[in-house]
Amino acid sequence: MTPSDARSNGFTREQSHRHASALTRGLLESGVLDTLVAADDPGARLVTEKERLASLHETLAIRPRGDVWVFGYGSLVWNPAIDAVERRIARVDGWHRSFCLSITTLRATADRPGVMLSLDRGGSCHGAAYRLAPDAVEHELRLLWRREMVVPGYVPRWVQIADANGDPIGAAIAFTTDSTHPQYAGSLEDACIACRLATAAGSLGSAADYLRRTCEGLQAAGISDPELSRLVDVVRKIQQDHDLPVLL
């Protein structure tokens, strides 16, 4: 969808938030997130609870020794919704933050597709790492899987994380991209990504709000991401130039 299409289809601020639900711990524990996002795109393929549990158990079956950490690079930075006993700023090498997952749910619909952040191959990424209490690992990860494994395209994997000095912290679970999946959007042009972020909205709110909150969350954590900051400016300009509600 182009900005002009969004305007001609009556895209309004009220529509973008009309059915928006906050992604809270309570929402994850209730198990109704799937029902909410199914309304965004009734034809979308959603990951089932059975598939999620199988994926979680496969991941835990190859769990390295030591504490379990979760590495967040997007909304987990500013809205973790899981209980942790420690939070640290961390870096993972071999992966970078990228809007490379195409979505039609969550913060998008079938009519207004969006993009979501994931970790794509190459480079490095700074984010927030959360250490889970040993006796709460499986429960907290069940909630995390309900949050992240809603639509296909993410691959949970163990990555090694380090602190600001480069000293090892340990092994962390990170949700990365499957570049062979049909929803992989790593080849989308920057202009298309910006357009989707400017116009998409779904059951959890607008894509522009997700971008803004992530950028602000990273800045509050002392993490610089010039590309995300640039995207915020580009998306705001698209919304202003095409007389769309500025959702940033």
Residue 209 CB partners (closer than 8 Å, separation 6+): 107, 247, 248
| Phi–psi pair at 79, nearest 5 degrees | -150, 75
DSSP 199-243: H-EETTEEHHHHHHHHHHHHHHTT---HHHHHHHHHHHHHHHHTT
3-state SS class at 170: strand
142, amino acid identity? R
Q: Are 75 and 130 in contact (CB under 8 A)?
A: no
> 205 with 108: CB under 8 angstroms?
no
Contact 128, 86 (CB under 8 A): no
Residue 100 CA, distance from chain mean position: 10
40: CB partners within 8 A, 6+ apart: 104, 105, 106, 108, 109, 110, 202, 203
To the query of whether residue 189 is one of the catalytic residues in this protein, the response is: no
- Which member of 14, 138, 140, 148 is catalytic? 148
How far apart, in whole angstroms, are the C-alpha atoms of residue 26 and residue 184? 30
How far is it, in rounded angstroms, from Cα 143 to Cα 158? 18
Active site residues: 148
